[in-house]
Structure 1
Amino acid sequence: MALWREGLLAKAVLEGRTRGYRHHPQLVRFRAHDEPLSAVRAYLAAVLEEAQRRGYRFDAAKIGGEVKPVEVIGVTEGQIRYERQHLLAKLARRAPDWHARVRRIHPVPVHPLFRVLPGDVEPWEIR
């Protein structure tokens, strides 16, 4: 659910429709893309597909335009590790049962828009 909401908020930022969230570091990924709005639409389309597979009913119209193939976005192995650790720390406090499940998942699946590359935590990440 949060992935969908945050993706829609990122889309609103890229469309210039909101003042909040404009400086969120994760937006660097989309802004650096040759087609930022198309990339965020492709991102949302894959989130929608997974949500539907799991039985959620999101409004596809909120993607707001044509979803077309776009170049993948590189994400470093270090960034994936960092985000996983961040998620596990939250789950340990908020949902111990989910923490036990998630920590056993290897390798970490990534969104189909992303391609994992060698490297450390991204320089834009706030630690």
Structure 2
Amino acid sequence: MRLWSLHPQHLDRQGLTALWREGLLARAVLLGRTRGYVHHPQLERFRARPDPVAALDAYLAAVVDEADARGYRYDRSKLGPVPGPGNERPRIEVSQGQLDFEWQHLMGKLSRRSPDWHDAQQAHAGPRCHPCFETVPGPIADWERGKVAA
């Protein structure tokens, strides 16, 4: 399971669809509807919120927004109510080190799976974080698996 800190605009079609499915799985975990992935480290930042499911729903709403912008059809009714336009989405801190780590990880995936999408993403000034996250200085998150020692 990977709940990207990166903005969903950076994901190719396969990545965006996988994020949607994995996000729905994460939602089921937070609601206690599955026994798998209960201790998944990427859920820590959502569990730390006053209402973890609402925070994840806001996260997934941004994924649906990106899907809508591309003409894909994801079922928004699978989510609970989320803040509308003009209302503040919950902001979760993500370190610059984590964002950079995820960017390198994604670029590696895209270079193999979707070279044209990879090239288009490389043309960006750099990675944008997901609208529910706020970038702060710091290293790769403690919960990140497979991180490279500095």
Per the TM superposition, whether the score is higher than 0.5 is yes
For the residues of structure 2 that align with 1:71 and 1:98, how far apart are their CA atoms? 29
Give the partner amino acid of 1:72. Answer: R
**What is residue 107 of structure 1 aligned with on the other side?**
126
Over the matched positions of the two proteins, sequence identity in percent amounts to: 54
Give the partner amino acid of 2:69. Answer: R
Cα pair 2:67 2:73 within 8 Å, conserved? yes
For the residues of structure 2 that align with 1:96 and 1:50, how far apart are their CA atoms? 20
Correspondence for 1:66 among 81, 89, 92: 81
**What is residue 25 of structure 1 aligned with on the other side?**
41
Give the partner amino acid of 2:140. Answer: V
For the residues of structure 1 that align with 2:122 and 2:106, how far apart are their CA atoms? 10
Name whichever of 92-101 and 43-52 sits farther off. Answer: 92-101
Give the partner amino acid of 2:62. Answer: A
CA deviations on 1:10-57 (whole Å, 9 max, x unpaired) are: 111100001222232211111111211110111111211221111011
**What is residue 49 of structure 1 aligned with on the other side?**
65
**What RMSD, in angstroms, separates the aligned Cα atoms of the two structures?**
1.4
Cα pair 1:38 1:70 within 8 Å, conserved? no
**What is residue 79 of structure 1 aligned with on the other side?**
98
In the superposition, the TM-score normalised over structure 2's length comes to 0.77
Name whichever of 28-37 and 74-83 sits farther off. Answer: 28-37
Aligned residues: 126
For the residues of structure 2 that align with 1:126 and 1:42, how far apart are their CA atoms? 24
Q: Which structure 2 segments of 5+ residues have no match?
A: 1-16
1:25–1:106: structure 2 CA closer, same or farther, 3 Å change rule?
farther
Q: Which structure 1 segments of 5+ residues have no match?
A: none
Cα pair 1:13 1:22 within 8 Å, conserved? yes
Asked if residue 13 in structure 1 is aligned to residue 26 in structure 2, the reply is: no
For the residues of structure 1 that align with 2:76 and 2:118, how far apart are their CA atoms? 30
Give the partner amino acid of 1:30. Answer: F
Cα pair 1:14 1:37 within 8 Å, conserved? yes
**What is residue 114 of structure 2 aligned with on the other side?**
95
In the superposition, the TM-score normalised over structure 1's length comes to 0.90
